[in-house]
Structure 1
Amino acid sequence: MASSSSLCEDQFLCPICLDVFVKPVSTPCGHNFCMSCITSYWDNTPVWQCPICKEDFSKRPNLKVNTFISELVSHVRSLRVTNIPIQSAPRQQVDSDVRCDVCTATQTVAVKSCLECLTSYCDGHLEPHYVASGLKRHMLVDPVENLVNKVCRKHRRLLRLFCRNDNSVLCDFCVDGAHANHDVVPVQRGYAEKTALLGKSEAKVQRMIQERLQKVQNTRTLVKQSEVKTKEVVAHSTRDLTELGSEIKKIQAELIRAVEEKQKSGEEQAEAFICAMESELCDLKATAKNMEKLKQTKDPLSFLSSYPNQSSLPHTMDLSTFSFTRHLEIQHMHRYFQSSISQLRALLLQINEEISKCSGGAENASNDATLVYMQQYEVNVVLDTDTAHPLLSLSADGKQVRYNTGTGLWGNQVLSPNMFTVHLAVLGRRGFSSGRFYFEVYVGQKTEWCLGVATASIQRVGEIVRNSNPGLWAIWFLLDKFETFSSPGVSVHVGKVERVGVFVDYDGGEISFFDVVRATPIHTFTECFFMEELYPYFNPCDNEYGSNLAPMVIMPVCTE
């Protein structure tokens, strides 16, 4: 092995990131790079070319970690122990803000930090590390501030690397263990990436804050406007109903007066007729008496002499010219008012129903309005066959997906790198990184299914862990209840649905699921932070519970 005098870190710097190699790989032309650096470089160039000598490769090289160089890098890093002989001359002063942890009076500037002791030492307190045999083996590095938080507790080495897969900082030895196949980059590069990402997140948060402040202000303004309008409606309605009540009372009084007058007039007319009839009856009775007397005269001469006077009839009225119909007129008026009052009662019932909608029926009206609002953001979703699990069958138009029991064994199939291998899932072709979008899915009588949206980087190979951050926001229906994918066993809704609406407000950080038929909410994810594109996610599930072979169908919004 080369000695410390013949090796230095400068010989093991990546030409791309200019930092010590992390998982070094060698190109066919013999140049060395960090695996993540050369991979990213080739991902962003149209040809596969060496960044140093510019040699072109006919196909992208299949790179493997160069274990020899990797071991040399580890060795070079381990040689950071400064094996300086004891000398009486004062050491060179170090320009550093790190202070000696041992000094008690005035803290002197530290010249070295020990990764074993997790302590920074000044020139004087460092001396034992060059004298004591046990301390000579300790690893000394340039002074490091807040050393305890910058050293791997397991391997006692500086945390110099960042794992993109686990979002954790690592030392050199951690990479060769549990993170051997992970995407690892130098801390500075990870810091730069996450700083940029944090900047975007911060800008997004500030935008969300401003949107919510504006929303609160608008809502308060609308509440004040609603308060003013409510007072106007109450005042006008009270006035109108009071006036209507007064008019009804006037009509009531006028009706009573008119009916009573008509009755009185009829009574007077009838009384006059009765008086006339009584007078005529007296005259007729007198005439009848004279006729009876004349009828008893036996002397022809006296009979004939008295006949012209006694046989003449008195003047009488024509009875057909008089009839009493006031009761019929009043009965007709009664029927008319009964009909009018019935219509008025029907109108009052309609008014009462409208009032009920504004009070007791407010929730249903709100849900209907919410559904109509979401549906205006409908997008055309088409399923991506490249992402579909081999046991799924898609329709030719990409609008339906079902579990295919006839596919059989698929272990020998060539799998697409974008394909789900465990979850019976498929994504939509189009991703969304801003704004709002909505789509509807018919699930009918299926007994199990999962529906939602997923990030572009969602895990495709292997089982997706159902935790709080799997990159999947979805609801899982099982027999008669719903739970979220991230919280198994926790019911969020009960009952079956036939048609589900999925609404995503990317910038607002919300995802809502709606029962379209009943216009009722199923579940809403709130306060979400999306850092990449979101794709519609479909999982029709297998037939474990029976009656589940029907497809999930993407449906257009019904405008009726």
Structure 2
Amino acid sequence: MEDSQERLSCPICLNLLNDPVTTACGHTFCMICINAEWDTGRGRRFGCPLCRQTFSSRPVLKRNTLLADLIEEHKKKNRESAAAGDRYAEPGDVQCDVCTGRRKRKASMFCLVCLASYCETHLKPHYEVVPLKKHKLMKASAQIRDKICGRHYKHLEIYCRTDQQFICPLCLMGEHKGHDTVEVAEKKYEIQRQLERTKEEIANRVLQMERLRKAARSLRAAASEARGDFKRLCEEHKHSVERKTYKMREKVGEAEKAGVDWTDHQLGRLQREKIDLRQRGHQIDQLTLTEDPIQLFQGFQALDHLPAFNDSHESFDTVTEFVTEQKKKLKNMCDREKNVLFSHSGNLLSDIPRLREEIPSRTYLLTKYKNFRVEVDPNTVSAYLCLSDRNRQISWSAVEQAHPDHPDRFSFHHQALCKMGLERSCYWEVEWDVGVVDLAVSYKGIKRKGSDNDCSFGHNKLSWKLTCSPSGCTFWHNNLHKGQIPPVQSRRAGVFLDYEAGTLRFFSVSDGDGFDLLHQVQTTFTEPLYPGFSVDLGTTLKICDI
């Protein structure tokens, strides 16, 4: 029922169409409303208040009889339905202004001319008496008084853009004369278009977040796959080396066994020959004591032929050469497998960035830049950021701050830039208590007004930032990011800018000598760079004295 009433309502007066007429563009209005609109139109231009289509001359309007019949039928159904439901007002209901007595009936309609609410019984004259039939009626509600001008008691049917408030026609003729105004219907249309744009922007952001989520998931999957490939490769080479090592051990063991067996055999033979020779030596000693020549000659003949003695040096050299050759083969095989393994490992790890120059120590940086001072520019601090401690401490407040208007102030993103532009080497440190912070450098030309990427650190070509959270850090530039950076454990970080070398480094600073490189940027800077900061809700960031 309410949807039907809205479609049968006049876009100008927002009431049920009275004597409806349709323009050439297809939109329908009350005869009185559209004529009044054209009578008071600026420059005598005639157009549709909804779609803004203009006509070369004032159109001749004719009553839309079909729509008028539908409206009358709609009114009749409303009266019948209301009559059946005509009852006394309950707590919270709008009471009829005409009813008398202690109990009043529930009001169903409100007259914008009479400025009174009526029950169905007292509303009948507005449907039957000719002058009253021209009055504008709308559904009674507890908020109806908010739609009435408090000074002139007229319907608020105009919106003043200059003063940003709803006014009545008498207000337009008085204190709002000459202001930029539009009809309520047009303002409603503007708001609807703005809401549609907002919905579209929300949908785009949700889509972008979903794409980022899918990209992150894909990145994690690729990293996991790379780790799996590397692990599998290592396992394969490990098993291959173990198999080849086992085979070489078997070969060396076989050679060792053969050499030892041969040596044992030779030693046994030599031992037997040694015993035999000792026996013969003893016999010779006995023979030399013999004085009988014949007996001496016979004994000599028996001992004249000694068993042959084999020179085993050549056999020992052969065994030694075999073992040495097997040792060389084993060493060459190990070296070859090691080179293959390192080659594959190098391919998998080739994407790991390597520092091309020596990283300065924190002691060196603190000594060299001890007199360098960073201060936040108060004219850049956004509305929800609080600035304190001689412009060296910022925090995000839930209450909007009373900062004066300034063209350099960020209007949407909770960011701030420092006063001094840097064109030389500098180093500064910051610390924070909890939450998430952004450490950035930016050219002065970054946009300040608006909510798009051109105004946000790291999401355009003019700025670089490192987002630090308890779970890890992410580097951003030109709306591209690099994740999987370790977190700043002590919530204290250092930023080193070597302007001429085009180097920007972020460090994690911890107690003692802890000074770990988080991320490094190598580029060419073309303008002075301004340090920048952003903090999360409830977070306080302080620029440290060094």
TM-score over 0.5 for the pair = no
TM-score by length of 1: 0.38
TM-score by length of 2: 0.38
